[in-house]
């Protein structure tokens, strides 16, 4: 019998069916079966397992992810050789590649304007490292979030020109900067390498490479800006190779730059399927070699042990790199990624670690106020749109994400400075917040705004906030019919006796985990806590030892458990049985490998 079984049986399961009857868990969530519990048949699972000589558990989870027998081998071992597209399939790519190659041949001075988040920093670092290695002089500019806002601005672009740039690359931004670029006509040639949603024709520049251009038919709209930059690098090197440039110059190793693509793909929450899965898998292997001093130093400061994973990037590296752009010096992340000096890398990493702690403190203060305000809006049936004059603009996006998770509603949070409001929003599948923000801008309610289905940013005069709230209430009206408690989607039931290192290692074959390929979320029913304690320097981690009805034993760990009902339940001395939801992992410590259950949520049995 497999260690992971679906409950109830496949023929009885439905996407909306509750797991173990849990309508409201201790963490405030509904537990529902993954929709594919009803559609992924035993025959599909067994067919995958037998054809590829896999354990039954892996066959079942592959089937639930919609992986066919034809694509299973590629899913488990994705390669860039098989999945990397011809860069020429992107609109304007050949124009951009030819111009980049010309800049290299002439040894031009190039300016790079990059966004202030992880994707922008990685995209800027990748192209800067490549072009400098090929003999170009490169000047960079990362805008100050508070003073300059998002996207290209005239003073910054003209500043790059003043430093000698004859070609300017705008990375992870620029698709919507039509007016700014029009004012730059004749001052420098400009190439946009971006991935943000477009609402009209491309801007008036030499080339705009963006898979989300309305006229781009590449089919790769789910890659990040750093991946676009990497493909532009591939295309430019192809031109230089064809023209014989590398007969007299050493050819750069583009694969040495792919760690930046992996980091950006994960931190920008791109789906880890198809091409992205190959980019991240290969990029993590390169990152694991420790050849980039800044990343190595940041991993050390964050006390990350072992080889880097997608979780490492998303929870340890990303927040620290982003922190500079949120509440401090927006250029710190780029400096960290580019430095070749280990001592400088350590210094910058420690600064970013401190800035991230500062960001966490600011965020906690804003979130505490925002939760009470959001609860009142949700109770009245409104979309969540919050504003306060003393909130820090650098954390509004994070707070919006926390509110979305807590209330299962799209949430927008704004900060006000001198009569102007800057906001950020987060949404959930089925409610396109980016489209709603674009519609608001087209209706004259915003000075600027844009984004993706799941996230958006915008700005407007303080006086227009009420009108925007009314507009979003209409645009996002479907949210009022959604359950108040967000759902945890569970893929299987795990008996404690079956929670072995072997099973955990099989599950790891589905990695890298992230958006579009979540780590399997499993339920352990009727577990009793035999012993529990707090560990870690601040006591925020709860460690518990579980026993099951089958006599099995298993260690469980709850992170971020300083407070909350789940932590209290694990520490409850009564021994009352619990249903637990979480992830099974194999963890190495002092040379030994053991299975651990990472608790995400709990409910009394």
The predicted-structure confidence for 95-127, as pLDDT tens digits, reads as follows 999 999 999 999 999 999 999 999 999 999 999
Domain boundaries, the chain: 4-77+491-604, 87-252, 380-481
- In this prediction, what percent of the chain has a pLDDT beyond 90? 72
Q: What is the pLDDT of residues 2-26, one digit of tens each?
A: 344 433 333 333 445 899 999 999 9
d(CA 165, CA 106): 13
| Rounded Cα gap, residues 425 and 440, in angstroms | 13
- State the average pLDDT over residues 213-219: 96
pTM given for the model: 0.89
Q: Which phi and psi angles does 601 have, rounded to 5°?
A: -160, 170
pLDDT tens-digit series, residues 252-297: 999 999 999 999 999 998 999 999 999 999 999 999 999 999 999 9
Equal fold, 87-252 vs 380-481: no
Say what the pLDDT of residue 388 is: 66
Q: What is d(CA 320, CA 327) in angstroms, rounded to the nearest whole number?
A: 11
According to DSSP, residue 74 is labeled H
- How are beta strands 455-461 and 411-417 bridged, if at all? unpaired
Structure tokens at 579: 């249903």
Fold of the CATH domain 4-77+491-604: OB fold (Dihydrolipoamide Acetyltransferase, E2P) (2.40.50)
DSSP 480: G
What's the pLDDT tens digit per position in 151-195? 999 999 999 999 999 999 999 999 999 999 999 999 999 999 999
CATH 3.40.50.1970 holds for 380-481? no
Top-level CATH class of 87-252? alpha beta
Q: Two tokens at 43?
A: 């025959």
Where does the pLDDT of residue 590 fall: very low under 50, low under 70, confident under 90, or very high at 90 and above?
A: confident
CA distance 190 to 213: 17
Q: Can you read off the two tokens belonging to residue 47? A: 């067919």
Q: What is the pLDDT of residue 78?
A: 95
pLDDT mean over 554-574: 95
What is the SS3 assignment for 168?
strand
Q: How far apart are CA 79 and CA 212, in angstroms?
A: 24
Q: Interior CA angle at 493 toward 490 and 494, to 5°?
A: 125
């Amino acid at each position: 019998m497999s260690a992971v079984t679906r409950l109830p049986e496949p023929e009885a399961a439905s996407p909306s069916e509750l797991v173990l009857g849990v309508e409201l868990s201790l963490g405030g969530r509904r537990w529902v079966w993954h929709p594919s519990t009803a559609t992924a048949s035993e025959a599909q699972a067994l067919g995958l397992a037998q054809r590829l000589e896999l354990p039954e558990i892996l066959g079942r989870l592959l089937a639930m992810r919609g992986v066919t027998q034809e694509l299973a081998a590629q899913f488990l071992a994705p390669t860039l050789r098989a999945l990397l597209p011809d860069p020429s399939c992107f609109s304007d790519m050949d124009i951009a590649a030819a111009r980049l190659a010309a800049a290299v041949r002439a040894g031009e001075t190039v300016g790079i304007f990059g966004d202030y988040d992880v994707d922008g920093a990685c995209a800027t670092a990748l192209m800067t490292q490549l072009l400098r290695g090929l003999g170009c002089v490169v000047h960079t500019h990362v805008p100050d979030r508070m003073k300059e806002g998002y996207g290209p601005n005239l003073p910054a672009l003209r500043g790059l020109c003043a430093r000698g740039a004859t070609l300017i690359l705008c990375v992870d931004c620029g698709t919507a900067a039509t007016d700014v670029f029009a004012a730059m006509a004749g001052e420098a040639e400009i190439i946009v390498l971006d991935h943000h949603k477009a609402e009209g024709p491309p801007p008036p520049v030499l080339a705009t490479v963006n898979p989300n251009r309305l006229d781009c038919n590449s089919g790769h709209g789910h890659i990040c800006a750093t991946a676009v930059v990497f493909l532009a690098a591939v295309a430019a090197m192809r031109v230089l190779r064809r023209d014989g440039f590398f007969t007299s110059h050493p050819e750069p190793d583009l694969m040495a730059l792919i760690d930046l693509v992996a980091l950006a793909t994960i931190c920008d929450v791109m789906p880890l399927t198809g091409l992205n899965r190959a980019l991240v898998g290969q990029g993590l292997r390169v990152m694991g070699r420790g050849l980039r001093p800044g990343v190595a130093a940041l991993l050390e400061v964050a006390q990350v042990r072992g080889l880097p994973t997608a979780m490492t990037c998303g929870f340890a590296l990303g927040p620290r790199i982003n922190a500079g752009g949120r509440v401090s010096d927006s250029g710190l992340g780029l400096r960290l990624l580019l430095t070749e000096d280990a001592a400088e890398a350590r210094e910058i990493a420690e600064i970013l670690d401190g800035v991230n702690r500062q960001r966490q403190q600011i965020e906690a203060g804003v979130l505490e106020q925002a939760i009470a305000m959001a609860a009142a809006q949700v109770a009245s049936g409104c979309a969540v749109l919050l504003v306060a004059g003393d909130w820090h603009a650098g954390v509004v996006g994070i707070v919006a994400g926390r509110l979305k998770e807590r209330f299962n509603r799209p949430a927008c949070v704004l900060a006000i400075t001198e009569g102007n409001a800057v906001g950020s929003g987060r949404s959930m599948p089925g409610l396109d917040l980016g489209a709603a923000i674009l519609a608001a801008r087209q209706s004259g309610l915003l000075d600027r705004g844009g984004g993706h289905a799941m996230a958006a940013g915008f700005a407007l005069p303080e006086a227009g906030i009420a009108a925007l709230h009314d507009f979003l209430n209409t645009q996002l009206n479907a949210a009022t019919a959604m359950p108040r408690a967000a759902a945890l989607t569970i893929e299987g039931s795990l008996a404690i006796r079956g929670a072995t290192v072997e099973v955990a290692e099989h599950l790891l074959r589905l990695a890298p985990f992230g958006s579009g390929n979540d780590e399997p979320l499993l339920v352990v029913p009727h577990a009793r806590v035999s012993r529990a304690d707090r560990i870690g320097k601040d006591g925020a981690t709860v460690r518990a030892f579980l026993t099951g009805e089958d006599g099995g034993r298993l260690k469980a760990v709850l992170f971020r458990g300083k407070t909350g009902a789940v932590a209290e339940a694990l520490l409850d001395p009564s021994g009352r049985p619990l249903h637990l939801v979480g992830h099974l992992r194999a963890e190495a410590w002092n040379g030994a490998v053991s299975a651990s259950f990472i608790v995400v949520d709990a409910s009394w049995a």
